[in-house]
Structure 1
Amino acid sequence: MTEHEDVRELLAAWAFGALDAAEAERVPPHLAGCESCAAEAARLRETVRLLDGPPIGGLPARPATGLPPALLARRPAAPRTAAHAAPYAAAVQGLRALLPEAEGRWATPVVHDWDVHATVAHLLAADEALAGRLGIPARVPATVLPQTVLPQDMRWEDAWNRRTADVIAHEHGRTPEETVAAWAGQADALLATPEARDAELAARAELLMGIRLPVADHFVVRAFEAWIHTDDIGRALGLVVPPPPAEHLGQLVRLAVRVLGLALGPDAAPVLFSVSGDEQWVLGSEDEPVAAELALDPVDFCLLVGGRCTPAEVPRGASGDAAAVRNVLETAASLAWL
């Protein structure tokens, strides 16, 4: 590898201040004499300007990913919403801030068999179910039956995958910019609904993705997925995507814990579960003594529930019954559908 190629590989980490001292010293002299790398460095520094900010209090570096300590995004002003929709509004703005970095790299593989373009198309399809329930017309023609009228014996995962594949196929016939505009327009429409601004209206329950939750919680689910896929795209492009702001991350964690508790059921061996020591829950039976204790970092817990790390990989603090701890971790991982 030439010196030019070697330094160019370092630019993203240099822009985020993630290089060691020896590597960092190599970059400025090269930029002084290389116009293309200097332009790339300026572009990356602009991304840092959008994403940079103070570390989230109490959140350590993520040892499972090897990324630098998490940064809090300085996003453009999000629409005014009620508290339940604020995480989704922030996640949408975070993805908007990142997508300019995909210019010229839309075909970069991201996750599953999706490239960047297809991942945005997937989010367009993923938001569609909630949007439809709130009276927002689909942005993509219904060339397959809408999810609400698919055969009753079809599993929701199959309907979800079928619609995603259809939307991705449709969007690959359009430009990435058109897909981004369709996704962003639908997201804006969701955030403009009365349910996004009124907690009382958002209290009604809707069955989406196989689970009946208040509309307010479905907004949190949308935030969870938007952030996970923003992180996917960032990793694919070699950029660090910060986790949600602390208050939003707490909402994601609390909803995931509730769903995990339902999945474990009342007969599982009870485990005292905590996330960075801030909150604790007893998962499993309420009639037996606690069999084990388990502590996870909030970002790691979300990545586990989101299918981005395995029970074996996720850093944890654990004591007591190893089988009970394993049951919690494996059940959390089984919730992944993103």
Structure 2
Amino acid sequence: MTLNILFSAPPKLWDRYKGALHQALTECGIEAQVSPDMPAQDTDYIVYAPNPSLTDFTPFTRTKAVLSLWAGVETIVSNTTLTQPLCRMVDDGLQLGMTEWVVGHVMRHHLGMDRHIHGLRGVWDQTTPPLARDRHITILGLGMLGAAAAQALAQLGFNVTGWSRSAKTIQGITCEHGPDGLQRALATAEICVLLLPNTMATQNTLNAQTLALMPKGAVILNPGRGALIDDDALLSALDTGQIGHATLDVFRIEPLPQDHPFWHRPNVTVTPHIAAETRADTASQVIADNIKRGETGQPLRHLVDRTTGY
């Protein structure tokens, strides 16, 4: 039997994914027709990324699952018309890309590279950074991406603390959880990396009160979600020197408006949501594997818990 798969995503992604999905499905032994124009009543699976053409899932009575191309599902998880199983994207390409971005920017700030790259010419500044073992890094969020980044930094010798809403155990990482654990994790956070999902419970995790808990001059890296930080509180903390620098990859509004203060602060680095791009080849393999599981009666991987939002 030939499966019918709707590719419902921004049109620019179709050219990138159509070949990769066809190859991955073929390698999994799945005969399928994939199209961005599949009729709802004929659709067996939906490959999904946020787009305005699909907001009502009611007509998709035959659809067995909605398979997200993104790790974050905050734009769809609360959709009351979505009654089909929803799976988020978890793939090694996403994980490796995020780990490389995090490690790169941690090392940049740890070594003080900006001072030498952008510092005053002719100034012989021999300030020596501490060794990695003497630098305290805090990772907020210990899901797949946060755990991978934490372990990579620990392997480089950094003193890594991780925090999550529920208890986690990761070898080589000091794991904290809950409100009291967040205070302890931030108290030593010379460099703080945000990799939490965007839910009602995580919005504004860094705010005026929690920013004040961090060591003076701390660095923030946010490749997670823009809503994790109270922007006004961060700008105020940057003004006072409580936060020394913020490197931000995600924002509440994207693209970041040209008049936003983040563009014009010397102690803010903006990267244009590039920390962990979903890569068509690896993501298509995850999608194909989940479809094969659905067709052979196996449990779907990476099912979203609607109560937690991820």
Give TM-score, length-normalised by structure 2: 0.30
Give the structure with the higher percent helix.
1
Give the structure with the higher percent strand.
2
